[in-house]
Structure 1
């Protein structure tokens, strides 16, 4: 990717030296830490050493009441229904609460709506399912905060509802409007930054911890999968949870995770973010996109190896089908964009496409064009779609400006679901484009560097220290350094379109590789600037320092 500007995060040099000396870390690592907005030594120490004891579920409102209600339901042998969602966040959350309640002797069931037949959230159909099972208490996970009609209907039918959710609650003139449930647990309601960005599965875990802390922590691997899948910031409580759960995915005890890693071809014990993003999570999501996701919950928690193996094959087949469906839609969209793309600040597309994959298609369009993308599936006069947005543009704010045109919408700042009448699509696109122009979408691509360094500062010790910052993801990106005036040595193209070279500066020389950079306009002996992430390359038992290149440019003097 070409960047119009490289920007280095500036830091007070005296304080940088102080942090480096106090924590006994290198200057490059200290710079990375400070670039994350961490200021005090106490904050930095907590970030590097997140402790699970720092998480107290009773810090969130509604938890105490919910625990009392659930314990009474277990005691009275009332039937409980865990109502989830069909994506990885909702599925892992459902698995955790269902399994822990089952182990504690509850008469518990779970329900995962079908994406196409039922749609998202707690619906009137959900209440009918609960009535058919004789349910007295519904606990929602990853949904419910805006499902007023269904919760009111449940109440009339004598069914209590506990909401656990993390989506934005309804606000009218800055006033919160909350469904009249028995208890509502949503960190967006509370003013506690430690829990504000929890995924749905994180909220479910806190309720589980309040019920039985020791037992709940056995599910922290599933929390990591659901949290990473929902692309919430890996800061505060999310970092603590994923940091601890990461180890249980690297060296799994759970049958489902062992099988997922096996079918995805992940043999290494060194887990990276791309393993989750491109190998494990898409498989968990595939059934909910293409078919019925109910059996994913069974897959996640089953202790029967034969059952897990059978379900893993089913999941893998659906993932293959999902990939083919997505490729077919992208081909159609590519052709459509060639004819119609007019550089609007928002991309809005619709067609008779499978509704289960429009979200991933919207994500690809946002990455490619650096602007909000809405992709809709048309069916029986309605357009149901998903939206994605680059950082800095709040989809909820934009959708609030269009709510008179919409039937339903919800989600997060960077991801949303939307339903409207087919007849309103053109007006919706026009309104969005006007709102985006008012926001002033920034088209130029800026590369933010954690630090400007000399090659001599990049050592194996730096790489070891940077490992303490993992896991990397939303809100805690992989560190990127920049170095100027490097001489290109032994330049060659390898593989399909990769560049290998050595970079030399003032007597220091380090190997470098640029994936998919084969078309870069640089020459042997040229003087360049490079943006990179340092790593250790292992090959045939040998370990060598290597720079993974993120961007190159001719040295600017």
Structure 2
């Protein structure tokens, strides 16, 4: 049994609306259900969403502050004032700055740009930057993707005689800066119909206000990058901007965009919003995380292919370096956390800090630990000289991390953010109190249900629904992103037909799934080792995205696996393993990695086992008892709440039905059983006894032991005459002795010539031999499915 990493939830949609929309638009029920679930439940709404409409584009002068900003910029152009574009270091800030560069170049303006250094300066407008601007002769500052909270800095700019126009999209504070103009759709008094613009989207609306209908279409490419990278909702005007940007990007004339697509390994004529999010955006962000974001701005605004290729290569290297830095910090942070868990259990809010944790990537590290432990996570870098801790938080839906930070605001020098993510700084000496205060707050807010991750799905389907036509139709919902995610479907009760690893170092997994006569291929990147847990015939439930696989001119539907569950108990057939202990350790590790449920493993073996067991550190160790049960040999220390045994590793097979029954009695919650015992040679195996076996044996004993004969001698001579092994012969002698057909005393055996007539079935040894031989036959020769059925029947009997 494998548990899914998260709980899957799919909304129920009105089947009548689905049928009617499918009929009226001549689309598949699958596409129709997606449209209805996402609020496009009429033909008119659905067509606007799929094909776009004029209502997706709004008059830029509906933005509060635009009417003041445009004349001020025109005056600056007429009077040849020097303008400063002040941006931010993330991908939205970089895109916003690049777009303003294109706009001011187009207008023939005199301008400079300024983006603060993430590590050295931090986010936002800074007074020292305004001092520098004054020295450069700047009289007008236009902020992009920042500025809405810069009350004091903008007041300082006024004292310098510098006007500030703020274009931003972040949540406005209660105290608004007294800027020349504030342009932000989220301002409470702003009547702009669409509130979800990115910073680059607001900058684009400023360009529209200044240029009207003559805004170059290719500028949508820059707007698309920032909008997708900043995780803005891909609905309404954002959807229109990104769709137009992607269309232009497929034949882009920007050298920087072309070079960035190339180093990201993205096919230009099929670029998608997903490609921007996972290919282009990380490379742009790497510039601001490990270096200075100015390099990324130059890439997006250069006119020469040679410079673009060089800069794109540099960003690619920075991104690879960023990945290595993240991986190192994740390992160090995980080690710290595991050590803490071993002492006091898993906290409700994870707070970890250390020196040398690059402040530019701590947010990514927090996200990765959140994914693994499903707890709110705060990762902080400690400055080696000042002791100041700067960090980032990522949270789960059940906890508003901004509210949590607000509850202990007095412990921090600075903090800001929103319910899902935040940033903060505080002195090292307050770190312990900070951790305690946050966890005290969480204890009052979080419930056990909040620690269960939930993934939204778009419905339950069968393989029959997942046709090539349906996969192609889904493209009508693109671009996919926030508020319009790539559809995910739940497929239940599919049998694994084939399993194989693929790719470099066999990192990836490919399955062929079957329902009835229908099959579909499924791919899971980075999950190659999962192949060992999914032998052919395993029934699985999967959460997957539907895509089109194109290869050598042919196209077919394909699933991209996001999560997987095996709803029934599993039997892992590793009989005859060269190193049973090593195999048990590997299996436990795989199950811990790929199953969403914590559990413990137990290993059971015969007392005679001599192989080293010290590698089975985390397992409870048990031995079979001759009397028929099992007894505990070693129990590992519990870390936090003791977990139930879910994996039972049989290093040796039980020698009796009583030992087998005791396994199920002691481990009723074992969801998975691994058979790791050796395979005995044919003569060493027990056989289900027959009357013919005993009749033949009776004759041989009559000739061998007419007078008292040492038992070893009897066994040696019987072994020569019979095809049966010593173990089987010994058990049969037990039967004869019980029935008084032989005398077995003093180490000798004597044939009894005229015993009382007794049925073999009157012998308990005969009954036990039959049951034990049947069990052994299954363990030694049965197929995996036969064994699974046999063990299930015994398990039910034990329960």
Whether 1:454 and 2:462 are equivalent positions in the alignment is yes
Structure 1 pair 43–400 and aligned structure 2 pair: CA distance change class (3 A)? farther
The alignment partner of 1:532 has SS state of strand
**1:276 CA displacement:** 2.4
**1:239 CA displacement:** 1.8
- In structure 1, the residue matched to 2:472 is 464
Aligned equivalent of 1:530, options 542, 547, 564: 542
The alignment partner of 2:89 has SS state of coil
Larger mean Cα displacement after TM superposition, 414-423 or 257-266:
414-423
The alignment partner of 1:18 has SS state of helix
Aligned equivalent of 1:351, options 341, 351, 354: 354
Larger radius of gyration: 2
- In structure 2, the residue matched to 1:203 is 202
- In structure 1, the residue matched to 2:290 is 290
What TM-score, normalized by structure 1, do the two folds share? 0.92
Deviations 1:46-86, CA, capped at 9 Å, x for gaps: 22123476322222211121112111111121111110011
Q: Distance in 1 between matches of 2:268 and 2:217?
A: 24
- In structure 1, the residue matched to 2:500 is 492
**1:446 CA displacement:** 2.6
C-alpha contact (below 8 Å) 1:209/1:217 kept by paired residues: no
C-alpha contact (below 8 Å) 2:274/2:481 kept by paired residues: no
Whether 1:551 and 2:575 are equivalent positions in the alignment is no
**1:517 CA displacement:** 5.7
C-alpha contact (below 8 Å) 2:185/2:195 kept by paired residues: yes
Q: Distance in 2 between matches of 1:4 and 1:362?
A: 19
- In structure 2, the residue matched to 1:316 is 316
Q: Distance in 2 between matches of 1:331 and 1:4?
A: 23
C-alpha contact (below 8 Å) 2:170/2:186 kept by paired residues: yes
Q: Distance in 2 between matches of 1:277 and 1:432?
A: 32
- In structure 1, the residue matched to 2:36 is 34
- In structure 2, the residue matched to 1:362 is 366
- In structure 2, the residue matched to 1:93 is 96
Show structure 2 runs of 5+ residues with no match: 570-799
**1:192 CA displacement:** 6.1
Q: Distance in 2 between matches of 1:197 and 1:344?
A: 35
Structure 1 pair 360–3 and aligned structure 2 pair: CA distance change class (3 A)? closer
Structure 1 pair 513–115 and aligned structure 2 pair: CA distance change class (3 A)? closer
Structure 1 pair 110–243 and aligned structure 2 pair: CA distance change class (3 A)? same
Whether 1:136 and 2:139 are equivalent positions in the alignment is yes
Q: Distance in 1 between matches of 2:56 and 2:15?
A: 31
C-alpha contact (below 8 Å) 2:249/2:268 kept by paired residues: no
C-alpha contact (below 8 Å) 1:2/1:445 kept by paired residues: no
Q: Distance in 1 between matches of 2:328 and 2:485?
A: 31
Number of equivalences: 552
**1:272 CA displacement:** 4.1
C-alpha contact (below 8 Å) 1:167/1:410 kept by paired residues: no
Larger mean Cα displacement after TM superposition, 536-545 or 138-147:
536-545
Structure 1 pair 37–429 and aligned structure 2 pair: CA distance change class (3 A)? farther
**1:11 CA displacement:** 0.8
Show structure 1 runs of 5+ residues with no match: 171-175
Q: Distance in 1 between matches of 2:431 and 2:128?
A: 27
The alignment partner of 1:212 has SS state of helix
Q: Distance in 1 between matches of 2:511 and 2:279?
A: 29
Say which structure, 1 or 2, has more relative contact order (CA 8 Å, 6+ apart): 1
C-alpha contact (below 8 Å) 2:353/2:380 kept by paired residues: yes
Larger mean Cα displacement after TM superposition, 151-160 or 249-258:
249-258
The alignment partner of 1:519 has SS state of helix
Q: How does 1:75-94 map to 2 (within 5 A)?
A: 75-94=78-97
Larger mean Cα displacement after TM superposition, 120-129 or 29-38:
29-38
Q: Distance in 2 between matches of 1:137 and 1:63?
A: 15
Q: How does 1:40-439 map to 2 (within 5 A)?
A: 40-51=42-53, 54-56=56-58, 57-170=60-173, 176-190=174-188, 194-213=193-212, 214-215=214-215, 217-267=217-267, 269-341=269-341, 342-352=345-355, 353-379=357-383, 380-391=386-397, 393-439=399-445
- In structure 2, the residue matched to 1:173 is none
Q: Distance in 2 between matches of 1:435 and 1:517?
A: 41
